[in-house]
Amino acid sequence: MKCVALIILPLFIVPALLGSELGGAVKRLEEPTIENAKLVLEELDDLIAKGDARRVTLGKKMHRSVKRLFTKNHKINEGRKIAEAREAKAKQFDENARQWLKPNIHGEVNKLAASAAFRDARELRRESQWSQEKSSKEWLEEVVDYERMLGDLRFSKEDEALITLASVLIKVVKQTSWVDRPSLKYDEARIQFIRDRVVNIDRWLTLAAHATDAGELELSYDFYRKAGSESGRFRVGAELAGQLSREGYLGSAINFWKRLGEIDRADELQKRMPNLKNEDYKSLEGAALTRNVAPACVRISTANGKETGFFYKEGGYVMTCRRILLDQEGKVLPVRVTLEDGQSFKAKVLGVSERNDIGALKIECRSHELLPIGDREDLKSGLTLKLFGLSAKDKNIADVIPCTVLSPMDSWKNQPTSELALDASRECRGGPIVNQRGRVMGIFLTSKLGSARSLEAGAIHAFLKHF
């Protein structure tokens, strides 16, 4: 009966995006025009005049950022128009120069005049380039400053205002094609994640409580995690770790204690079972496996593109493919790691393998999910596995792709790999291939015509001995 109640209850819960005075004040900017911006600034002025200390502080920051954003965008548009006028004039100078270089009726050309015209055209284009570079730098500074204000709104839980103003920034940045477009911390994927959490948080918390009452601790843990309730996540996670330990699944219990940051408890269990086997991890069915694995996956971004990675150790340690981390000369590129909730971190490359396509990173993030690494001997022909990868570009949540082991140990490009029956996109490279117990049995490398390759678990263990 408890399970039935858990299913029926959500039908009577109607989620709603809670409003706020600050959120209502900027609502007009869902259509980001200068006229609407002026009206919003007037509404913010009224709130600042009548508000309490908190509202006054946030209102002033919002007023300043909105005004500066639209002012700077207007100046950029004016700069673009001036640059277009310069370019039209420069083209006329070019045409004049070409005419000067054509022989007249006497067979003579005026090289001096042509040279002067070409020089004037170059000077005009140089002025436009300087102006564009200066505007690009100022625009980047403006966007960074604006996103600080968004961070203040996030910290203050003014999510309605945050969603509206972040959406404004996205739209305005898309319109400013004349200057360099900076990458946004609050991009569309992150805003959608925040919007989903705001809309569903009450329902998720209710479902988490009912799942706990029904003894569905794994499901309750996931609802608390999605709702962003660290206290609920820790409380249920600790209870779940204890339950797994009593049931004899010490590997799963250790993994949960590490996820919660309780390293001493994890080490205590590890001493009892130093050599964990596949059977020491609980088997997970369908959605339970996805809930356990997908949140540990991250997006890796460099100048080479975007791929997938995953947390393999507590404290912000991430694993992915080597190739995306290096330029053509083998030098390490700047790397960013984006989490499920859209938060983005600069990453330090700890090292890459000389032989195999694998690398390790570290970011300053302490609270996250993570995945245990499996054992080579558990890879068997015919074994069904799942690949988790961020193939969709508009969200940071990993998709699940089933695959089957064709050959557990098969050398490919001098790497110890497994051959798989699998079709997957390039963005999934670096993603974990896991078994039914949530253990990583390989890292996805490449696929072609239904056949794929993954770096097998033994090679992963050998690489991690250095870190």
Rounded CA-CA distance 206/51 in Å is: 33
Give the per-residue pLDDT at 395: 87
* pLDDT of 13 higher than 60: no
Residue 177: the pLDDT is: 87
Q: Which of 404, 401, 400, 399 is nearest to 420 (CA)?
A: 404
Residue 162 resides in a domain: yes
User: Do 355 and 384 reside in the same domain of the chain?
Assistant: no
The domain total for the chain is 4
Pair 357, 422 in one domain? no
Please check whether residues 145 and 247 belong to one and the same domain: no
* Res 467: pLDDT: 75
Q: What is the pLDDT of residue 202?
A: 96
Give SS3 for 59: helix
DSSP, collapsed to helix, strand or coil, labels residue 158 as: coil
129 and 154 share one domain:
yes
> What tens digit of pLDDT does each residue of 174-226 get?
999 899 999 899 999 999 999 999 999 999 999 999 999 999 999 999 999 99
pLDDT at 98: 94
Give CA–CA dist 62/161, Å, rounded.
9
Asked if the model's pLDDT at residue 9 lies above 60, the reply is no
Q: Could you tell me where the DSSP H helices lie in 26-52?
A: 34-50
Which pLDDT score is estimated for 219? 97
pLDDT at 3 over 60: no
Same domain, 235 and 160: no
Q: Do 328 and 179 belong to one domain?
A: no
CATH number at residue 426: 2.40.10.10
What pLDDT, in 10s, does the model give residues 139-148? 999 999 999 9
Start-to-end C-alpha separation, the chain: 49
pLDDT at 11 over 60: no
With vertex at residue 400, the alpha carbon angle to CA 397 and CA 406, rounded to the nearest 5 degrees, is 145
Q: What per-residue confidence (pLDDT) applies to 292?
A: 97
| Cα gap 158→18, rounded to integer Å | 10
In degrees rounded to 5, what are phi and psi of residue 101? -85, -5
| 158 and 269 in a common domain | no
Domain end (from 162, 184, 206): 184
- Phi, psi angles (nearest 5°) of residue 63: -60, -50
139 shares a domain with 43: yes
At 7, the pLDDT band (50, 70, 90 cuts) reads very low
State which of 282, 314, 329 marks the end of a domain.
Answer: 282
Mean pLDDT of 2-9: 40
- 100, 207: one domain: no
Domain encompassing residue 434: 376-459
Asked if residue 10 is part of any domain, the answer here is no
Confirm if 374 and 457 have CB atoms less than 8 A apart.
yes
Are residues 259 and 369 in contact, defined by beta-carbon separation less than 8 angstroms? yes
**CB-CB contact of 413 with 376 (8 Å):** no
What local confidence, expressed as pLDDT, does residue 12 receive?
37
Is 357 part of any domain? Answer: yes
- Eight-class DSSP state of 331: P
Q: What's the pLDDT score for residue 17?
A: 39
| Strand partners for 446 | 453
Distance (Å) of CA 249 to CA 165, 245, 335: 47, 5, 36
Return the DSSP state at 438. Answer: S
User: Mean pLDDT across the stretch 34-41?
Assistant: 96
In a domain, 3, yes or no: no
- Closest C-alpha to 172, from 345, 374, 29, 316: 29
Amino acid 16: pLDDT:
38
Query: Model-level pTM?
Result: 0.85
**CA proximity to 144, closest of 115, 173, 120:** 173
422 with 328, same domain: the answer is no
Looking at 160, 184, 208, the residue that finishes a domain is: 184
Is residue 333 a contact partner of residue 303, using CB atoms and an 8 Å limit? yes
**pLDDT at position 5, please?**
40
| 250-259 helix and 230-246 helix, angle to the nearest 10 degrees | 160
What is 280-327 written as a DSSP string?
GS----HHHHHHHHGGGEEEEEETTEEEEEEEEETTTEEEE-SGGGB-
User: Residue 425's pLDDT is what?
Assistant: 84
For range 101-128, the mean pLDDT:
93
Q: What's the pLDDT score for residue 450?
A: 74
Per-residue pLDDT of 207-217, as tens digits, reads 999 999 999 99
The mean pLDDT of 106-118, rounded to a whole number, is 92
Residue 365 has pLDDT above 90, yes or no: yes
Q: What is the mean pLDDT of the chain?
A: 92
Q: Are residues 89 and 171 in the same domain?
A: yes
> How many Å separate Cα 67 from the centre of its chain?
29
Cβ atoms of 260 and 232 closer than 8 Å: no
Question: How does pLDDT run across 319-354, given as a tens digit for each residue?
Answer: 999 999 999 999 999 999 999 999 999 999 999 999
What is the sign, positive or negative, of the torsion defined by CA atoms of 313, 317, 323, 324?
Answer: positive
The helix (run of H) or strand (run of E) holding residue 199 is helix 188-213
What CA–CA distance (Å, rounded) separates 6 from 217?
13
Question: pLDDT digits over 394-404, tens only?
Answer: 789 999 999 99
Whether 4 shows a pLDDT value over 70: the answer reads no
Q: Are 109 and 142 members of one domain?
A: yes
